[in-house]
Amino acid sequence: MVRRATQIGLLLLALASGLHAGPSGTFLGTLVSASGSRAEARWIYVKGKNGVIRRVEISTAKVAYGEGVPREQRKQPAAAALEPGTEIRVTATQDNSGEWHASRIEITSAVDNAPPADSDDDDADSDSTGTLPESLRVI
């Protein structure tokens, strides 16, 4: 009887801790705008194919290029390519207030007018947590 109560208690504890963390997910979309600086949390706004715009906090997210982005379109650090119009895949967790906090951002399609990256850079596929360009300080 005590063993059964202990098992039920542990199960409830496991379920409760999972609910506290909030839902996590991955979503695709187009970067609409971004804001922030090194001293404050940085936010991006991602518009999904259904028209819904999500606000995502990205201060601790790793930014990387997907396999489909040609090397000549890759800026370094990868976070420098987070410009309006860039197609991205975001992996994030939602907190209790409904805000999304990204752990990873994958650039799936760079903006067409992006200047080519340095061809001497052998580290183009690595993750980067670089800063956002000044031109994205909207909002």
Specify the pTM: 0.63
> Quick one: tokens of 99?
């805000």
Question: What is the set of domains in the chain, with CATH numbers?
Answer: 22-136 (2.40.50.140)
- Phi and psi of 83, rounded to 5°? -115, 155
Q: Over its length of 139 residues, how does the chain's per-residue pLDDT go in tens digits?
A: 777 767 776 666 555 555 455 778 999 999 998 775 544 558 999 999 999 999 999 999 999 999 999 999 999 999 989 999 999 999 999 999 999 999 999 999 988 654 455 545 444 444 444 445 554 444 4
Give the residues across from 28 on adjacent strands: 89
